């Protein structure tokens, strides 16, 4: 297991473009991948690492690349069962790929076995004085079995889905709904992380260690860099509406989203508007949530999202892993609950004490990869 040369990395993108670059030309897909290595603070300055499995006896640029992956370093919150919160590091694994000509020989298994071990201490000393690597995670698109056998255990992976809405829904004329722009997000992220930390500081008495990826502005900027590159390539413009908010301070509901393109521009069935993060302030603060009131608030937020999905060629809206009360309210306003069995299976390899019972808070789309 080692790191590719620039030439090897580019060749990997050339190979993977057939699977993951359907929305773009091959050249534009390679340009996107190059751009994403430095387009956000999350990925820049070594935040993203490229990995390849090769025969170590062969020279660089003259060796077969047997399997490839990427890892993305992330700030991570950890709370003991007693509510003591500290920061650590986790690594999100993505772009696991094996060249077609090398499939069926166990190379991906070998790579994942080695990668799981290497990431236990990878870049801890470079991560803002956060010394502990807490876990690595990935999102399996091949079910639970393969990665589960290699130590990444599956976590809840469901979502509530809505069909794209009518174009007028995106106009923001729905009563009391504020359209969120990029300039609105930093403050909301700070409020959100503060509430998440306070929630984690409350002892629960269930013996579980709780973990969360902070929903910070860096994560949204990373998703936005991908989205803006693709929408500029496909539509010649970038989105202005990043989310929607309803309610007064202390009882607000807001969502931040991104548009994901996995099919051709005109194939809406393959393209999705993902709610990266859905925040219900009353719930985050531990208060009782009135499901009827919440349903009305969510109807406004989701209405804007559905209209944005329609405008940008996305066939549906997905809200990942909402709480039971939020899921119920979403279903009341027309959402359909889906339990994913094959794609997007959130999976964690824990590097703490063996047998520790882990709860992953805010296991939503923003934490993807």
> What's the CATH number where 269 sits?
3.40.630
C-alpha span between 139 and 150 (Å, rounded): 14
pLDDT one-digit tens code per residue, 184-232: 999 999 999 999 999 999 998 899 999 999 999 999 999 999 999 999 9
- pLDDT tens per residue across span 27-45: 999 999 999 999 999 999 8
> 355 and 292, same structural domain?
no
pLDDT score of 175 more than 80: no
User: Same domain, yes or no, for 59 and 113?
Assistant: yes
Residue 277 lies in a domain: yes
| Total-model pTM | 0.95
Contact 209, 356 (CB under 8 A): yes
User: Is 101 domain-assigned?
Assistant: yes
Are residues 195 and 311 both part of a single domain?
A: yes
Of 243, 315, 308, 310, the closest CA to residue 279 belongs to: 243
Triad 189, 191, 196: Cα angle to 5°: 90
Instruction: Compute the mean pLDDT over every residue in the chain, rounded to the nearest whole number.
Output: 95
Q: Are residues 324 and 356 in the same domain?
A: no
In a domain, 1, yes or no: no
Does residue 330 share a domain with residue 195?
yes
Write out the residue range of the structural domain in which residue 306 sits.
159-339
Residue 145 lies in a domain: yes
The predicted structure's pLDDT at residue 337: 98
Same structural domain for residues 138 and 219?
Answer: no
**Residue 310: which pLDDT band, with cuts at 50, 70 and 90?**
very high
pLDDT tens-digit series, residues 272-283:
999 999 999 999
Say yes or no: 281 and 219 in one domain: yes
- Give how many domains the chain has, as a whole number: 2
In 3D space, the residue among 356, 275, 345, 355 whose CA is nearest the CA of residue 309 turns out to be 275
In this predicted structure, the answer to whether residue 129 has a pLDDT above a threshold of 80 is: no
pLDDT of residue 154 exceeding 60, the answer is yes
Helix axes 217-235, 182-200, angle to 10 degrees: 140
CATH number (domain holding residue 16)? 3.40.630.30
259 DSSP β-pair partners: 273
Predicted confidence at residue 168, as pLDDT, reads 47
**Residues 281, 138 share a domain:** no
Averaged pLDDT, 290-310: 96
Residue pair 149/347 in contact by the 8 Å Cβ criterion: no
Same domain assignment for residues 126 and 12: yes
Same domain, yes or no: 293 and 359? no
Query: CA-CA distance, 322 to 325, in Å (whole number)?
Result: 8
């Amino acid at each position: 297991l080692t790191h590719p040369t620039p030439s090897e990395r580019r060749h990997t993108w050339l190979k993977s473009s057939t699977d993951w670059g359907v929305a773009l030309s091959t050249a534009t897909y390679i340009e996107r991948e190059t751009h994403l290595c430095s387009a956000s603070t999350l990925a820049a300055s070594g935040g993203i690492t490229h990995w390849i499995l090769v025969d170590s006896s062969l020279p660089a640029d003259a060796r077969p690349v047997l399997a490839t992956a990427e890892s993305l370093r992330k700030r991570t919150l950890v709370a003991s069962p007693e509510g003591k919160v500290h920061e650590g590091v986790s690594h999100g694994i993505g772009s696991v790929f094996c060249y077609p000509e090398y499939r069926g020989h166990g190379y991906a298994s070998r790579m994942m076995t080695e990668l799981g071990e290497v990431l236990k201490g990878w870049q801890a000393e470079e991560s803002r004085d956060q010394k502990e690597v807490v876990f690595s995670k990935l999102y399996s698109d091949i079910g639970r079995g393969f990665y589960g056998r290699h130590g990444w255990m599956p976590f809840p992976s469901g979502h509530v889905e809505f069909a794209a809405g009518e174009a007028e829904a995106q106009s923001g004329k729905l009563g009391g709904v504020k359209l969120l722009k990029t300039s609105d997000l930093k403050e909301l992220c700070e409020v959100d992380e503060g509430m998440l930390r306070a929630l984690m500081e409350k002892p629960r008495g269930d013996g579980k260690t709780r973990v969360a990826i902070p929903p910070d502005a860096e994560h949204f900027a990373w998703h936005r860099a991908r989205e803006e590159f693709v929408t500029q390539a496909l539509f010649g413009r970038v989105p202005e509406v990043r989310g929607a908010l309803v309610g007064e301070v202390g009882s607000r509901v807001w969502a931040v989203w991104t548009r994901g393109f996995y099919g051709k521009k005109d194939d809406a069935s393959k393209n999705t508007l993902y709610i990266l993060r859905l925040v219900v302030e009353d719930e985050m603060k531990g208060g009782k949530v009135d499901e009827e009131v919440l349903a009305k608030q969510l109807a406004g937020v989701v209405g804007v999202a559905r209209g944005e999905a329609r405008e940008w060629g996305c066939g549906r809206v997905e809200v990942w892993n909402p709480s039971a009360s939020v899921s119920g309210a979403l279903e009341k306003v027309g959402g359909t609950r889906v339990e994913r069995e094959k794609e997007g299976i959130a999976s964690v390899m824990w590097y703490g004490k063996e047998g520790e019972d882990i709860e992953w808070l805010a296991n939503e789309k923003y934490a993807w990869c």
